[in-house]
Amino acid sequence: MRKLKNKELERLEILEFKKAEKSPIIIILDNIRSLNNIGSVFRTSDAFLIEKIYLCGITATPPHNDIRKTALGSTETVDWEYVDTTVDLVEKLKNEGIKICSIEQAENATMLNNFKPQPNQKYAFVFGNEVKGVSQKIVNISDAVIEIPQYGTKHSLNISVSCGVVVWDVFSKLKH
């Protein structure tokens, strides 16, 4: 078995990416502190043709060297927008018929492996602050709360890892 060279991967050029049909997935970052986490979310979003990323509250925005370091150019491909207040954004998206799913540990949360995304439905997944998680206000107005099953000793996953796990799971379920 031979590793493929980058030129053999047949990745999209920036203009092709912009024109490509996107996944019905939106990412909302609710007060993310780490610039490296933000960059990693951009890179994951590029990989799975995410429609848009919303950067809310204290979440930093491109251009920034620490975001650029982990994003590897994906801030140029993935559409993004800064919004001051996550609650206002969530209410706006809900009014547009987008289902809001907070990724959080909560009573009666749906385990990710049991989450069944519906075809022809657009979803916005909210990822919260590295310490405090998704704010309770957002959890309260979400259409669903999804929890990633975990079996070890730690209480949570890194936000960029959580994003990768959720996006891959939902993307694969929608594609198959």
Q: Specify the pLDDT at position 76.
A: 96
* CA within 13 Å, CB half, 118: 8
Tens digit of each residue's pLDDT (9 = 90 or more) over 113-135: 999 999 999 999 999 999 999 99
Tokens matching residue 98: 């987008």
Residue with tokens 């669903």: 144
In the chain, where the domains are located: 20-175
Distance CA 152, CA 89 (A): 34
Crossing angle, helix 35-47 and helix 159-175, to 10 degrees? Answer: 10
Q: Specify the pLDDT at position 117.
A: 98
Question: What CATH number labels 20-175?
Answer: 3.40.1280.10
Our measurement of the distance from residue 101's CA atom to the centroid of its chain's CA atoms, rounded to an integer in Å, reads: 11
SS percent in the chain: helix, strand, coil, step 5? 35, 20, 40
Q: Specify the pLDDT at position 49.
A: 97
Tens digit of each residue's pLDDT (9 = 90 or more) over 44-59: 999 999 999 999 999 9
Q: What is the DSSP string of 17-73?
A: HHHSPPEEEEEEEES---HHHHHHHHHHHHHTTEEEEEEETT---SS-HHHHHHHTT
Q: Indicate the pLDDT class of residue 38, thresholds 50, 70 and 90.
A: very high
